[in-house]
Amino acid sequence: MNLYLVRHAEPEIKSYKGFPGPSLGEKGQRQATVIAAYLKNENIQQIYTSDYKRAKETLKPFQALFPQIKIEEVKALRERENESESHDSLVHRVHTWFDLNKETLLQSNTAIFSHCGPINMILTYLDPNKTILDYPYEDSWGCHTPLGQIWQLKFQEGTYSGSLKLI
């Protein structure tokens, strides 16, 4: 079983406030197409996405290839709004969602389309001491996933490994 953590592609603007956030820019739309091409042969069976516009637009080219796959929008996968949510609240929100859904998430190949914060929180849920995965990327915000990129985590017999796929 594989879990794919997909950070949304590049938005048209970098500075914004509030829900639903900006759309993808031209570069982001190209990144979304590359993500769809990468995931096309990965036998994805379940998809969860943030309800923010840039995450849903990143998913759109893949969804066009596989319209039969059910997509679940999850508010717990939203990015943290700096003005209204603490870091601890983000950790609690994402860890609680992942813990409550772990059995379902890990039963078949699953893709999660989200943001820096929630993806980091899923990684810390699975690798709290940063000893299992290699973290080759970190930006000034502490994000371990560049825009429009994917973590592929392989789960097998109670253990897992993974890597950041720079596509």
Is the pLDDT score of 60 beyond 80?
yes
Compute, in degrees rounded to 10, the torsion defined by CA atoms 78, 46, 2, 33.
Answer: -70
Mean of per-residue pLDDT scores for the chain: 94
Is the pLDDT score of 17 beyond 90?
no
Is the pLDDT score of 33 beyond 90?
yes
Q: What pLDDT, on a 0 to 100 scale, did the predictor assign at position 21?
A: 85
pLDDT tens digits, one per residue of 95-130: 999 999 999 999 999 999 999 999 999 999 999 999
Q: What pLDDT, on a 0 to 100 scale, did the predictor assign at position 141?
A: 87
**pTM beyond 0.85:** yes
Q: At what angle do helices 116-126 and 87-105 cross, to 10 degrees?
A: 60
E strand or H helix at 52, and its extent?
none
| Type of residue found at 11 | P
Q: Half-sphere exposure (CA, 13 Å, Cβ side) for 60?
A: 16
Mean pLDDT of 142-163: 94
Angle value at C-alpha 73, between 67 and 77, nearest 5 degrees = 130
Q: Sketch out the chain's domains with CATH numbers.
A: 2-15+17-165 (3.40.50.1240)
* Residue whose C-alpha is closest to residue 115's, from 148, 154, 87, 83: 148
